[in-house]
Structure 1
Amino acid sequence: MDGPVPGAGTLINVVAVTAGALIGILAGNRLPDRVRDVVTSCLGLVTLLMAILSALDVTAPELEAAVGRGAPILVVLAALLLGGIVGAYLRIEERLEALAGVVQRQVGRLVRDRGAAHGSAHEARERFIEGWLTASLLFCVGPLTILGSLSDGLGRGIDQLVLKSALDFFAAIAFASTFGIGVLLSAVSVAVVQGALTLVGVTLGSVVPDAHVAALTATGGLLLVGIAFRLLGIKQVPVGDLLPALLLAPLLVSLVSALR
């Protein structure tokens, strides 16, 4: 039986963000802290399960045949170590976290300069823009966005994007209850960014060997473990700093294969 059509995961994500934003707008207030904590913990546990299933690709026969018996784990380890060093040196996690604040400040300053005499209209516009920017950055920047969209395009399933859709649904409720209708526009951002990444996955799927895809998936699975730990409040793993490992894992497979 054929899998989902490429792009189905992004479509589900767009619907989830839209539905969550509409509910948040209608609700007009945030979810109670107790409810939000329970939902976050449930999503963290499911993320951990997804991470384990992805990480098990380290045992894929294609990967072992390409790099040798016992080497797949070393390839993933090397990718994480080297990728983490590069990411920490470039301060990717810190820069991603600061990006939203920088953009909001610049937009806020621009709006104030141009609309100081517009009173409540100016405030509504600023609130709309901030809601769109904040939600777009949250929904479009992160390992689940990259991993899920690439996995969708590579034909390896939409499970990760379905999980991300659940996360984004509840986040959209909270953001829309604060920022209003501007959060709805972030659904367009999700469609554009994840659609482009899915297209990249479709393109790579025709040229990248199964061994390279397995290494990418296994490495991504460990990044998902980091996301699960963050959701569960166990440890704030700097997953952003580890993102370069996703590029290094397939490259290391090629290198090891060539040296054998």
Structure 2
Amino acid sequence: MVLFGSIVNALAIIVGTLIGLLLRRIPEQMKETVMMAIGLSVVVLGISMALKSEDFFIVIVSLVLGTVIGEWLRIENHLQSVGNMLERKLGKSETGNIAQGFVTATLIFLVGAMAIIGALDSGLRQDHAVLLTKSMIDGFTSMILASTLGIGVLFSSIPVFLYQGGIALFANVIHQFLSDELLERLIAELTSIGGVMIIAIGINILGLKQIRVANLLPGILVITAIVLVQHHF
């Protein structure tokens, strides 16, 4: 079953979130310290990912162009509007900042190399080992995030399933058009630009500066286009 790994990953996030919500009654001081620990860990993770690039200049160019597009499309504002709507329906006092939890968790779960490699393995070889390993990591991470950010983390399971499931379903098509060498380069650059976004998330969690991380997302499409053009020319 091609989608098995993606389904398990989404379910792990949901279960982890539900467990995390049960832990929300921990003291505020402990929550604050836990969030600082998460923020620092996320920054370190982002730095390690960002260093994967073979040509960091194109990462910078992609981030700049992607940010211009993201600001023009106001992606962060639209996500915040959806979060606000859900908060009105579910009650913000009980659920926390849904938009923040959703955006933070989604980016953490999607921008790493495991999401791409695992989905490709599921689609090409029906080998779900990478995604099952990622599921355990995401389940634990969602539990920690949900204990502080609330139920918004649960909704990240939807884009995780759609993103990884889509790659798995179209893996054979992707493999036909991209050589192993090109695919490896593309994964490295996507991991790098994703790492920068992860650093931005960590900065947000630490409260050092509020960065509209969602507006950086078009950079992923820009760097994909640049790598493909470089390869062919």
User: Once the 2 structures are TM-superposed, how far is the Cα of residue 131 of structure 1 from its aligned partner?
Assistant: 5.9
- Superposition map of 1:168-187 within 5 A: 168-173=142-147, 183=151, 187=154
User: Which secondary structure does the structure 2 equivalent of 1:169 belong to?
Assistant: helix
- CA distance 1:190–1:219, change in 2 (3 Å): closer
Q: Which string of whole-angstrom CA distances, capped at 9 and with x for unpartnered residues, describes residues 139-166 of structure 1? A: 3674224325834424695688766545
Q: Amino acid of the residue matched to residue 57 of structure 1?
A: K
Unaligned residue ranges in structure 2 (runs of 5+): 122-128
**2:52 equivalent to 1:53:** no
- CA distance 1:199–1:205, change in 2 (3 Å): same
Unaligned residue ranges in structure 1 (runs of 5+): 25-29, 60-71, 108-125, 177-182
- CA distance 1:161–1:250, change in 2 (3 Å): farther
User: Which secondary structure does the structure 2 equivalent of 1:95 belong to?
Assistant: helix
The answer to whether the Cα contact below 8 Å between 1:43 and 1:167 also exists between their aligned partners in 2 is: no
TM-score where L is the length of structure 1:
0.65
The answer to whether the Cα contact below 8 Å between 2:51 and 2:192 also exists between their aligned partners in 1 is: yes
Q: Amino acid of the residue matched to residue 18 of structure 2?
A: T
- Superposition map of 1:94-243 within 5 A: 94-105=77-88, 107=89, 127=91, 135=98, 138-139=101-102, 142-148=106-112, 150-151=115-116, 152-154=118-120, 165-166=139-140, 168-173=142-147, 183=151, 187=154, 189-203=155-169, 206=172, 207=174, 208=178, 209-243=183-217
C-alpha RMSD of the superposition: 3.5
User: Once the 2 structures are TM-superposed, how far is the Cα of residue 39 of structure 1 from its aligned partner?
Assistant: 0.4
Q: Which residue of 1 aligns with 2:37?
A: 42
Q: Which residue of 1 aligns with 2:226?
A: 252
**2:28 equivalent to 1:33:** yes
Matches of 1:173 and 1:35, distance apart in 2: 11
User: Once the 2 structures are TM-superposed, how far is the Cα of residue 103 of structure 1 from its aligned partner?
Assistant: 4.5
Q: Which residue of 1 aligns with 2:58?
A: 75
Q: Amino acid of the residue matched to residue 12 of structure 2?
A: I
Flag the structure with larger Rg: 1
User: Once the 2 structures are TM-superposed, how far is the Cα of residue 192 of structure 1 from its aligned partner?
Assistant: 4.0
Aligned length: 210
Matches of 1:93 and 1:136, distance apart in 2: 9
Matches of 1:43 and 1:204, distance apart in 2: 34
**2:18 equivalent to 1:21:** no
TM-score where L is the length of structure 2:
0.72
Q: Amino acid of the residue matched to residue 18 of structure 1?
A: L
- CA distance 1:201–1:78, change in 2 (3 Å): same
